[in-house]
Amino acid sequence: MTTLINCRGKLIDLAQPRVMGILNITPDSFFERSRVHTEEEILNQAEKMLSAGATFLDLGGHSTRPGAMPVSEEEEIKRVLPATEIILKHFPEALISIDTFRSNVAKACVEAGAVIVNDVSGGLLDDKMYETVASFGDVPYILMHMRGTIETMTQFTHYDNLVLDVLDDLQQKVAQLRTFNQRDIILDLGFGFAKNLDQNYELLNHLPDFEVMNLPMLVGVSRKSMIWRKLDILASEALNGTTALNAVALMKGANILRVHEVKEAIETIRLIDAVKAR
C-alpha cells in the first residue's frame, strides 16, 4: 500500500498510524466541546492537540451533522481562514487540513498554508473541487464516501451490496481524480454519512476489503451517533466507545484516526502497535 504522502513539501509516512485532531470553528457541531470560536480558544485547543501528538489539525467551518443549518461560502471562509492563519502564526510547523466541500474555501485556506483538503462530499457538492486541489500538486485530498447532500443524506441508505457499492463509488472517484493528476488520495468510508447504524459497523468490519485500492485510509468515528445510539448514551459520554472502535479500526488497517481527543487516540495507537509487534 502507498503510505507516503506529500503535504506541501513535507513527507509523512502513514505506515505509522497518525492522529488528526478536530477543530470545529462552528456554533453547532454535534459535540459541543469541540467548538472553538475566539482566537484564544483556537490556539489553546491547537496547542493541546499538537502537544498530545496530533500530526494534523482538521479545521471545519460548516457543520456536517444531519440537520445542520447551511452556511454561506463567505461565512465559512470568514470562520476558517483567520483560524488557519492564526494557528500557523503561532505553530508554523502545524499541518492543517481544511474540512470543506467548497473549492473556493479549500483554495483560500491552502493559499494561507493548509496542506490537506478533507472533503466530506467526495466532490459531489462542488464540481471544481478535484481540479482545484489537483492544481496545487502537493496537497493530499481526503476522498470521503457520501450520497445526497448534508440535508438529504439520511434518505440514501439503501445499497444493493454496501461494501461493493461503496468500493465501486470510491474507485470511480479516484479514477476521476487521477484525470486531474491528483497525486495523494486518502480514503474515508464516510461513517455516519448516508449509512444507517448497522451499515457503519458492517463497513468498519470490512475495512480491510478496501486495501485493494492501495490507498491510505482515514477513519472518523469519534463520538458519532453510531456509538452513542448503540450504547443509548449521549455524545458527551462516548469517549470510551470511540476508543474501542478506534482500536478496531487500527487492527483492521486504519492509517489516520480523526478524533476529538488526541491523547486517548495516541495511547490507543501505542497499545495496538505493541500488540502487532508481538
Active site residues: 224, 258
* 8: alpha, beta or left? (left if phi > 0; alpha if psi -120 to 50): left
Residue 116 CB partners (closer than 8 Å, separation 6+): 7, 56, 95, 96, 97, 98, 139, 140, 141, 142, 186
CA 271 to chain centroid, in Å, comes to 22
8 A C-beta contact, residue 65 and residue 26 = no
- Secondary structure of residue 240 in the 3-state scheme: helix
| Angle in degrees, CA 275, 262, 145, rounded to 5 | 85
Backbone angles phi, psi at 227, to 5 degrees: -90, -60
Q: Which residues contact 56 (CB under 8 A, 6 or more apart)?
A: 18, 19, 20, 21, 95, 96, 97, 116, 256
